[in-house]
C-alpha cells in the first residue's frame, strides 16, 4: 500500500484568526470547543485540523488534541471506517512488529505534544493508540498536524482519501451556516 501523503507539510500551530474560528464553526455546525490553534490548513486555505486545549473551559478533560474539522475529509474517513479499515489496521498491528513499534512511537508523539500544552494524568492519547485503531479521524488529524512519517496509520488513512479540497473550500471563512 502506498502511504505517501498527498498533503502539504504542517505549519507550526498558529492562533486562529476570527475568519478561522468562523470557518471552523461553519465546518462543525456549532461553536468549536477548546480551540487553541490551527494545526493544519487544507490546500484550499481553511483550517482542516485544529489543536484543542487539553481541558475545556469548565475544566472537563478533552484529550483529543488534534481535531479534524473539514466535513469533506471527515465524511471520506467515515466511509473508510464503515468499510472496516480500522479492523484491518488493528489486525496488522498484532502481526507486524515494525508497524506496532511505529504506532507506539506515534502514541508517544501525541502524548508529548499534548503534555507540552497541559498534562492530563491517566488519559490515553487518542484514536486507540497505542494498541488498536479506534478512530481514523484522530489518526488523520495527527498525521496532518505532525507531518508525514510520524503516525503511520494516519499517513495510510490520508493516502486512502480522495482530494477532499479539489472542489474548493468546504465553507467560506465568513460563513456561519452549517457545512454542505
> What is the model's pTM?
0.91
User: What is the reported pLDDT for 179?
Assistant: 45
Where the chain has pLDDT below 70, the residues are 1-11, 173-180
- Residue 49, SS3 per DSSP: strand
Is there a domain that residue 146 lies in?
yes
Task: Evaluate whether 65 touches 109 at the Cβ level (below 8 Å).
Answer: no
Is there a domain that residue 167 lies in?
no
User: What is the reported pLDDT for 66?
Assistant: 97
- Residue 85, SS3 per DSSP: helix
User: What is the reported pLDDT for 4?
Assistant: 47
Number of domains in the chain: 1
Is there a domain that residue 169 lies in?
no
Is there a domain that residue 2 lies in?
no
**Which bin fits 70, alpha (ψ -120 to 50), beta or left (φ > 0)?**
beta
Cα-Cα-Cα-Cα dihedral sign, residues 115, 118, 124, 126? negative
Is there a domain that residue 173 lies in?
no
Q: Which residues pair with 61 in a beta bridge?
A: 55
User: What is the reported pLDDT for 124?
Assistant: 86
> Which domain does 82 fall in, by range?
18-160
- Of the candidates 93, 71, 72, the one whose C-alpha atom is nearest the C-alpha of residue 25 is 71
User: What is the reported pLDDT for 13?
Assistant: 82
Amino acid at each position: 500500500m502506498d502511504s505517501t501523503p498527498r498533503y502539504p507539510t504542517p505549519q507550526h500551530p498558529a492562533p486562529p484568526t476570527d475568519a478561522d474560528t468562523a470557518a471552523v464553526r461553519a465546518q462543525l455546525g456549532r461553536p468549536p470547543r477548546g480551540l487553541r490553534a490551527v494545526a493544519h490548513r487544507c490546500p484550499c486555505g481553511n483550517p482542516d485540523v485544529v489543536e484543542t486545549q487539553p481541558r475545556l473551559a469548565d475544566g472537563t478533560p478533552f484529550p483529543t488534541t488534534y481535531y479534524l474539522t473539514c466535513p469533506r475529509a471527515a465524511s471520506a474517513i467515515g466511509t473508510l471506517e464503515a468499510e472496516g479499515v480500522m479492523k484491518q489496521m488493528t489486525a496488522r498491528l498484532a502481526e507486524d512488529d515494525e508497524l506496532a513499534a511505529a504506532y507506539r512511537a506515534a502514541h508517544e508523539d501525541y502524548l508529548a505534544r499534548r503534555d507540552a500544552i497541559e498534562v492530563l494524568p491517566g488519559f490515553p492519547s487518542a484514536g486507540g493508540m497505542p494498541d488498536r485503531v479506534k478512530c481514523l479521524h484522530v489518526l488523520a488529524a495527527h498525521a496532518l498536524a505532525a507531518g508525514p512519517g510520524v503516525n503511520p496509520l494516519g499517513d495510510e488513512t490520508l493516502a486512502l482519501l480522495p482530494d477532499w479540497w479539489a472542489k474548493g473550500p468546504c465553507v467560506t471563512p465568513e460563513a456561519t451556516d452549517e457545512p454542505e
